[in-house]
């Protein structure tokens, strides 16, 4: 089975074209290979950054302390848990 491919086309000023061509040549690749590989690497970085949560040392300490010693449930949490349990039992 052959994967479906899509075309991406972009117009760039001459100086950007020259820069990309020079960079591709420096790596021994075609401009298409260079642009595609660079775009893939950057896209992966952006997607990864979207899923990473960065905390300061103090925030990290507070987060893990809360996980290890969670506060007692309040009235709203107990009501939500009861409603959830009622909903689950109603669907049986």
Quote the pLDDT of residue 47: 95
User: Model's pTM, two decimal places?
Assistant: 0.57
Query: Which segments of 1-92 does DSSP mark as H helices, in order?
Result: 14-27, 31-51, 57-68, 75-90
* pLDDT cut 70: percent of the chain above it: 98
What does the pLDDT look like over 24-54, one tens digit per residue?
A: 999 999 999 999 999 999 999 999 988 888 8
Quote the pLDDT of residue 2: 80
Quote the pLDDT of residue 92: 64
Quote the pLDDT of residue 69: 94
């Amino acid at each position: 089975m052959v994967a479906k491919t899509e075309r991406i086309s972009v117009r760039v000023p001459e100086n950007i074209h020259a820069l990309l061509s020079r960079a591709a040549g420096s790596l021994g690749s075609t401009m298409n290979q260079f642009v595609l590989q660079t775009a893939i690497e950057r896209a992966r970085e952006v997607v990864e950054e979207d899923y990473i949560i960065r905390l300061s040392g103090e925030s990290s300490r507070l987060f893990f302390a809360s996980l290890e010693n969670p506060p007692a449930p309040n009235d709203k949490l107990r009501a939500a848990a009861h409603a959830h349990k009622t909903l689950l039992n109603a669907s049986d």
